[in-house]
Chain A
Amino acid sequence: MPEPRSARRRPPSRRAVLTAATAGLATVLVSTLTGCSAADGGTSQGVTLTFSWWGNDNRAERTDEAVRLFEKEHPGVTVRTSNSDFGSYLQKLATQAAGGGMPDVAQLDYRQISRYAGSGALMPLGEAIGNKTIRTDEIDQQFLRTGSYEGGQYALPMGRGITGYAYDSALYAKAGVPTPQPSWTWQDWENANKKIAALGLKSPDGRPVTGANDGGGNQDVFETWLRSRGGQLYASQTRLGFTEDDLAEFWAFCDRLRREGAIAAAEDTTQANSTETSPIGRGLAAADFTWDAPFPGYAKLLGESTHFAPVPSTNGRAGSYFKPSMLVGISANTKHPKEAAQLIDFLLNDPRAGDILGFTRSTPPNRVIAANVSKTLKGPELEIYQYAQTMEKYGLAAPPTAPPPGDLPINTAFKRNYQRVMFGLATPRQAARELIEEANRELRS
């Protein structure tokens, strides 16, 4: 230490400069290192948890509110939240998990569970559930199993979602289409679309109004269609459950309706990247296939005449099923497993959190909270709650097992291959063949 000081009086020797430079360099390195550890949140004052999820603004606002309440109840615990849209969320989380920097608490998609649990990225929750840090008594045991992998519980469902159909009831009435019932069929759906297109209405930009968004590129719609005919997407973690014939038939059906002008035009479907920019959002279609949780967003955007109905059936057999709309898990690398478990328990089981969160993640898995919250629901949120009850009573086939990790690229391949059909770049059969080859490659690896 005294050396640099004495060097000030005399002209500095080369050695002194070098020492100073090396020391300076070392400080740079050391300060970056300490910078790293500070960012990791290991401060002595309190515990900092990181929590990430995907979702729209409404969900973000309410989740933040619930988290602030949690912080108030647990002095010394700070929760840093981050959210993004679904597409980039999965990629971001995968990268974080690979680098060992996964958030302490993370919202997870159903198709992530097997890979994250299987590779040891998630902390087993058995202990936290065993000592009641996370209470699961009020969650349906069968539904709870969606978060398990090879016998261990790795994640907990945050909501129970179901597919449905958002439609403009005013347009349906005008076209003389009866209100869709759980038993309405794909044939009824075809006729409804044709009747609406036949009204000859014009959208704000002067183009014809069609019956519905084109669901051909939507894997969820295909799955519902397939299940209504008794099929399934995956036979196992490594094998598809449908054939080229199934897919070619579905795509030929959508392709024909689109060519006839009964459902939205190709360009309008492909340029959409949100509900606002999709045909229904732009006044070019009267209906869209969607999930229950996002439906209140549709009603807000499109007005009060928008209602929620079942996806068409095949001879009365419904293809929809209850699916964990999202799950939540804890990183295996967390430094604060206890606080992370407390946060999950709070989000799932605290009645006040339940009131704040409402149905932003579909029906809450905790039965008591779901029943409580349902009393205060109104408008579109009440509608999706009643819809779920109606469908439960109507009778739905058992849900499939968790999709394989390869489902993620297969999902995007589905959309892409149907786009080739829409623009005449491939016939439904060619596109179906290409999708199946691609899917088999994904499932093999």
Chain B
Amino acid sequence: MRTLSTKAPESADGTTGPRAPSRRRRPVREKQWPAYVFLSPWMIGAGVVTLLPMAVSLYLSFTDYNLFDAPNWVGLRNYAEMLFEDPRYWRSVGTTLLYVLVAVPLKLILALGAAMLLKNLNRGRGFYRSAFYAPSLLGASMSIALVWRALFNDGGTVPDVLAALGIDTGGWVGNPHLAVYTVVLLTVWQFGAPMVIFLAGLQQISPDLYEAAALDGAGPWRQFVAVTVPMLSPVVFFNLVLEIINSFQVFTPAFAVSSGDGGPADSTLFYTLFLYERGFTASHMGYAAAMAWLLLLAVGVITLILFRTSRSWVFYADEEGR
């Protein structure tokens, strides 16, 4: 153990430079295994409740498991059925993409706008920050989703107020053209979480930059475009990735608004809702598992693409000059 632990840093020395050896001389490796003991509750948890179920789910996606009978291997049949035979699969993909493409930009724009307003607010900032953040804490709950459903029902507050303003929409929940937007609005309403991150990001931007820009004659809009946006781009990127990943997994609001069936006429049939219905209503657990894996794959690919494109638009100040 000892020879191995002292040798390892030495071999790394050549690449990391002259200061490294003095920091790494302590025999760290010898004490590593207690660390694992202390980590073990987490590691056992991750293994038993995350990795193992994932492995089982991958296996089940190639079977016809129906909760009751022992699973039979069916190869790629579940994948083939969902991609080539089931029109509802693609309908659920379409609904989810529409939702992501509308809800994520709206939410981020609102979050950034609110953060810009709060940044220059001296009195009451704490209060407003908490007030705007509150929906993010409440929004994921079933009760809020049910209240939301009642607000947008026929005879609910929103259609009534709109009708009083001369816009007669009728109930949103029962209308397949509008139902999905009740879910979009519920998500957008929870802009507080990305707002707090934006706010922290805005406060990191050095006032010197704004001062210099002002001296050069830049107005507020020019300052926003030339200073705020590039300096904030890592935070924008972080929020974008996070929100996209979360949005693909939206479930509770769609479940509540549609009473669990993705209706009316599949207009709120989000990917996860369809997955749930396949697994738990129709007992096609194999099919549902296959859906979950394709979702993981798709979100992974989208995240990868985002990371690739980020090189051309995200500006990391500390990487400057490398």
Binding site for B on A (CB under 8 A): 14, 17-18, 21-22, 25, 28, 87-88, 90-91, 94-95, 97-98, 115-116, 118-119, 121, 205, 266-273, 277, 282, 405-406, 408-409, 412, 415-416, 419-420, 422-423, 425, 434, 438, 441-442, 445
Contact = CB atoms under 8 A, between A and B. Distances in A.
Contacts of A406: 282
Nearest to A29: B44
A92 to B, nearest CB: 9
B255 to A, nearest CB: 10
B265 interface: yes
A17 B86 CA distance: 58
Contacts of A18: 34, 37
B281 A409 contact: yes
Interface in B263-322: 263-266, 277, 280-284
A423 B265 contact: yes
Contact of B38 (A21, A91, A98): A21
A97 B68 contact: yes
Given A271-B171, A408-B281, 20 more contacts: A21-B37, A91-B280, A97-B68, A115-B283, A118-B69, A267-B170, A269-B174, A270-B265, A271-B153, A271-B154, A271-B174, A277-B153, A412-B281, A416-B261, A416-B262, A416-B263, A419-B264, A422-B265, A423-B177, A425-B265
Contacts of A272: 174
Contacts of A115: 66, 68, 283
Interface residues of B, number: 39
A423 B176 contact: yes
Contact of A119 (B68, B81, B280): B68
Nearest to A406: B282
B250 interface: no
26 contacts: A28-B41, A87-B259, A88-B260, A94-B67, A94-B68, A94-B283, A95-B67, A97-B68, A98-B68, A115-B68, A115-B283, A116-B68, A266-B174, A267-B171, A270-B173, A270-B176, A270-B265, A271-B173, A409-B277, A409-B282, A416-B265, A420-B265, A423-B264, A425-B176, A434-B87, A445-B284
Contacts of A273: 259
A441 B235 CA distance: 47
Main DSSP-derived SS at the A contact region: helix
Nearest to B284: A445
A77 to B, nearest CB: 29
A415 B153 CA distance: 19
A31 B37 CA distance: 19
Contacts of A438: 88
Contacts of B283: 94, 115, 405, 408
A118 B283 CA distance: 15
Given A18-B34, A115-B68, A445-B64, A267 B175 contact: yes
Contacts of A412: 261, 277, 281
Contacts of B88: 438
B40 interface: yes
Nearest to A410: B282
B171 to A, nearest CB: 5
Contacts, number: 107
Most buried by B among A118, A205, A416: A416
A40 B264 CA distance: 41
A90 B277 CA distance: 12
Nearest to B170: A267
A256 to B, nearest CB: 19
A419 B176 contact: yes
A273 B261 CA distance: 11
B68 A419 contact: no
Contacts of A118: 68-69
Given A115-B68, A412-B261, A425-B265, A91 B281 contact: yes
B265 A419 contact: yes
Contacts of B277: 409, 412
Interface string B121-143: 00000000000000000000000
A69 B86 CA distance: 51
B86 to A, nearest CB: 8
A419 B263 contact: yes
Contact of A98 (B67, B86, B176): B67
A233 B176 CA distance: 28
B85 interface: yes
B47 interface: no
B280 A95 contact: yes
B154 A416 contact: no
A91 B81 CA distance: 23
In order of increasing CB-CB distance, the 7 nearest A-B pairs are A271-B174, A119-B68, A270-B264, A409-B282, A267-B174, A419-B265, A270-B174
Given A97-B67, A97-B68, A268 B261 contact: no
